[in-house]
Chain A
Amino acid sequence: MWSFCASTSGSAVVLPDGRCDIIVRNHASTPHEIKPVITGPATRPYHVDFDAGDQWFGIRLRPEHGAALWQGDLGNAPDSVLRGPEALDRLPSLSALHGVPLTRDALAQIIPSLTWPRVDPRLTRAIDILHASGGRLRIDALAECVGCTSRHLNRVFRRNVGLSAKTYAQLIQFHRTLKLITSGNVPIIAAAFEGGYSDHAHMTRTFRRFGGFTPSGIPTDLSLPGIPFK
């Protein structure tokens, strides 16, 4: 769960991390008017504009639980965003939040209403290994690690996460490399190597695809709402 309250107006870039969010947004002066938002697994960056006093409460699902939110529609969910009535159609229990003070606890109440499909434990393990290895494992090696074929692993990724295993791995690799540059102060060429990119051009293409910027032009307003690396 996360929350964010804007102290000034502005805009921010939200980076894709392949996970689905359930978000409710309101303004501090009118806390009872809420705008529900549901996001599919994101692979593209998007911009959010906000005013001072805007606040968000969100639930970020573990990647393999995308199917719990989108059910049979997960195939169409990547990079889609449902707002207002569409979000309520997707998750009717969100309507219970109308007229009540918005808190993390109130938002947490809607989680049990999701129907959680069974997740192959090998998928959960594969996701954990991918995070630990910075997305640097090939999918066939990853499948071998968890004891299944890469075909099966891809099938459960698409069925539960909504993305291919490779796309999810590339997202992790992107976030880790970005963190090497921004938090680790690692020079760009060295970050490309440590991040596991075959060359600088390959890293630049990935940064443009997932971030909309180049490694040397990383914007400073990437922090809304806090994107965890795991």
Chain B
Amino acid sequence: MKLGYTIIYVADVPKTVAFYEAAFGLKQRFIHESNLYGEMETGETILAFAGTEAAEMNGLAILPNSPDGPAAAWEICFVTDDVAAAYERALSEGCQPVGAPSEKPWGQIVSYVRDLDGCIVEIASPIQGSA
């Protein structure tokens, strides 16, 4: 078994796909004609978005993400060599700041924002010694 998808349930799939293109520089792979499912070009492990209605159709009970309350207990993390630029770009495209880039004791640069739905997105440099 391998990790194939990370799927985030969101209020508006096309809007979220466009937001991730603008804020994090990802490209869309496709959006289903129902507008209830979309995938980003993220390599072998796919970041996808599904409409909150899709959760109900699949028999799932979820607590929708919201920028107005505390975030859900998970995050996604983008890795880049230029954290400062990526952080500024995310903010200029409408992300909410949570932690500006700072260096961890192990040498990694780490920052945090929340996306349009209030999900936590970490933007960090690669850990030295790893790919």
Contacts and interface: CB of A to CB of B under 8 A. Distances in A.
B98 interface: yes
B70 interface: yes
B98 A184 contact: yes
Given A133-B70, A136-B69, A137-B70, A183 B97 contact: no
Given A137-B70, A196-B69, A187 B97 contact: yes
Contacts, number: 33
Contacts of B98: 180, 184, 186, 194
B70 A196 contact: yes
A81 B47 CA distance: 54
Contacts of A196: 69-70
B97 A184 contact: yes
Interface residues of B, number: 11
A193 interface: yes
Given A136-B70, A137-B70, A190 B97 contact: yes
B107 interface: no
B90 to A, nearest CB: 13
Interface string B83-113: 0000000000000111110100000000010
Interface string A180-214: 10011111001001101000000000000000000
B97 A194 contact: yes
Interface string B45-80: 000000000000000000000000110010000000
A190 B98 CA distance: 8
Contacts of A134: 70
A193 B96 contact: yes
Contacts of A180: 98-99
Nearest to A185: B100
Contacts of B97: 184-187, 190, 194
Nearest to B101: A185
B70 to A, nearest CB: 4
Contacts of B99: 180, 183-186
Interface string B11-30: 00000000000000000000
Given A133-B70, A134-B70, A136-B70, A194 B100 contact: no
24 contacts: A132-B70, A132-B73, A133-B70, A136-B69, A136-B70, A137-B70, A180-B98, A183-B102, A184-B97, A184-B98, A184-B99, A184-B100, A185-B97, A185-B99, A186-B97, A186-B98, A186-B100, A190-B97, A193-B96, A194-B96, A194-B97, A194-B114, A196-B69, A196-B70
Given A184-B99, A184-B100, A187-B97, 12 more contacts: A132-B70, A134-B70, A136-B69, A183-B99, A183-B102, A184-B97, A186-B97, A186-B98, A186-B100, A190-B96, A193-B96, A196-B69
Nearest 4 A/B pairs, CB to CB: A185-B100, A184-B99, A133-B70, A186-B97
